[in-house]
Each structure stands twice: as C-alpha cells, then as structure tokens.
Amino acid sequence: MSDAVQKELEVDIMHNLKTVLSRIELAVSRRSKDLPNIAPKLIAVSKIKPVPMIIEAYKAGQRHFGENYVNELSEKANDPQILDQCKEIKWHFIGHLQTNKINKLLQSPNLYIVETVDSEKLADNVNKQWEKFRNSDSRLNVMVQVNTSAEEAKNGCDPSETTTIVKHVLEKCQNLNFKGLMTIGQYDYDVSKGPNPDFILLAKCRNEICTKLNLDINTVELSMGMSTDYEHAIELGATTVRVGSTIFGARPPKNAQINNS
C-alpha cells in the first residue's frame, strides 16, 4: 500500500459522515416552510479515492456514491471487493457524459442515476442504449443538468431549454425515469453577498417545469451544493447534495489529477 493511500485511509470517514449528516439536519431546520418537504440525500463523491475508503463509508451507513469519470465509476462498480461487501451501493454519475462512453457507463453494476443529461440528443442516446443493459422493464433514473452560471467551462443546458428537454425525456424516452434537475454552479460563491443565484435559478427552473408540465413539485429533486456550500444549498431547496472532500479528505490539485473520463 502506498504512503498516499495509507494517509488517505487515516481519515476518520465515520466521524466525517456523522458531522455532515448532522449539518444537513440543521440546514433542513433552517429551510423555508414554503419549500417542498423532501429529506435531502447525501451523495459521497469518491472521485480519485481508493476502494477501501468507499467500503469504509459504506460500512458506516452511506449508500449513495458519486463519480465524475466513466472509467473510474466502471472500475469501482466492478471491483470484486465492492461487489462483495457493498451489495446495496447506488452509483451516481455526476460528470460530463460523452456519447462514446454511454455503453460503458450503463454496463456498470448498481448504476442508480445519470445526473448530467443536458440535451435531447444525449437523452435519446442513453434511452436507446439502456434497453441493452436494463433488468426486465426497469427505467434508468436521470436528471437534467442546467448550466445556471452560464460559464463556458461548465456543462449543462441553458436554463431556457430546461422545460423542453424535460418534456422530451418524459414523452420520448420511455426507458428513462426523470428525477429532477442538477447544477454545478460557480465555485466559491460568497454567501455574504446574498443567496447563491445558481441555486435560486435552479429552483426557479423546477417551478417552471412543474407549472408548464403539470408535475408535482414534491417529486422533482434538485441536486446542488458541494462540500463548501451544501448547507446553503439545502436552505435554498436542495434535495441532493454532493459532498466529497469533507467526507474523504482533500483531493490533490487539479493539475495532479488524471483525467480518465
């Protein structure tokens, strides 16, 4: 075992999980009563973290895990230790999905949801390919990713396209189960300036699709918020938060990470 992996395994994952879950509860208590009463789901983002850390988090009660890269999710989902010890694990794909990677992703055991569908074309491709890999008549959970910050480096549809894409998924993609909306938003937003506009906008998009498509707002999830801002996101209506470094410890700088998408 390398020194780096050994150091990572010294992180107190159980303590960190308990801390995050407690903060989630407190954030819920601060949430406006006007928001849908949906208990937030914690996604432990295990990007570039070793299998033993995932198993430790699973043994501590965590079931939902997120990965940004198809190759890494596939490798971990097929890992013999995870298959043996984490039978109820639920994988969330939260990175940009390239068309040529769809099949590999959909073959991953225990794939729970693809949170990053951002076009009708991608929805159609995932819908078509899922027929090959699904069990019986099961549908694949998906979210529509919205680029709320209008940053060119970020993926996601334009907010104005959200209703059109969701309508397409609901009406044209019989193998997909629409679960909600997802955004990354700008990093390191200063909350002293007021509520995060990306989170406000995603909630607005949800209101719009529910009104125009006659959906029950209590069934439409919002995936937003990460280690630095998940509490704030919950206060503004997040039903899914994606937390990595606060649970597993800091990741190496981006330029030291390998892009294995």
State the average pLDDT over residues 148-156: 89
Q: What is the mean pLDDT of residues 151-165?
A: 94
pLDDT band of 160, cuts 50, 70, 90: very high
**What's the confidence (pLDDT) of residue 153?**
84
Output DSSP code: residue 31: S
Q: At residue 9, does pLDDT exceed 70?
A: no
pLDDT at 258 (0 to 100) = 43
pLDDT at residue 2 tops 60: no
* pLDDT tens-digit map of 213-244: 999 999 999 999 999 999 999 999 999 999 99
Give just the sign of the alpha carbon dihedral 220, 221, 224, 225.
positive
Alpha-helix runs per DSSP H in 60-101: 70-77, 80-85
Residue 259: predicted pLDDT:
46
Which pLDDT does position 18 carry in this prediction?
97
51-104 pLDDT, tens digit per residue, is 999 999 999 999 999 999 999 999 999 999 999 999 999 999 999 999 999 999
Distance CA(47)–CA(244), nearest Å, equals 8
Which one-letter DSSP state was computed for residue 39? Answer: P
Residues 6+ apart with CB under 8 A from 25: none
Region 25-29: what's the mean pLDDT?
96
Where are the extended beta strands (E) located within the chain? 41-45, 64-67, 90-93, 111-117, 140-145, 176-182, 221-223, 240-243
Burial of 44 from C-beta contacts in 10 A (0-12 / 13-18 / 19+)? buried
Pairwise CA distance, residues 166 & 228, whole Å? 29
Predicted confidence at residue 88, as pLDDT, reads 98
The better pLDDT of the pair 120, 251 is held by 120
Q: What percent of the chain has pLDDT over 70?
A: 92
| Whether pLDDT at 7 is above 60 | no
Domain assignments of the chain as residue spans, ordered by start: 13-248
Mean pLDDT along residues 11-19: 94
Least confident among 1-15, 29-43, 182-196: 1-15
| Cα 230 to Cα 199: distance, rounded to the nearest angstrom | 11
Is residue 41 within 8 Å of residue 71, measured between CB atoms?
no
**Topology (CATH) of 13-248:** TIM Barrel (3.20.20)
| Cα angle for residues 79, 80, 85 (degrees, 5° grid) | 105
Sign of torsion over alpha carbons 220, 125, 242, 153: negative
Q: In 3-state terms, the chain is what percent helix, strand and coil (to 5)?
A: 45, 15, 40
pLDDT of residue 252: 65
Element containing residue 28 per DSSP (H, E): helix 13-29
Task: State how far the Cα of 23 lies from the Cα of 21, in Å rounded to an integer.
Answer: 5
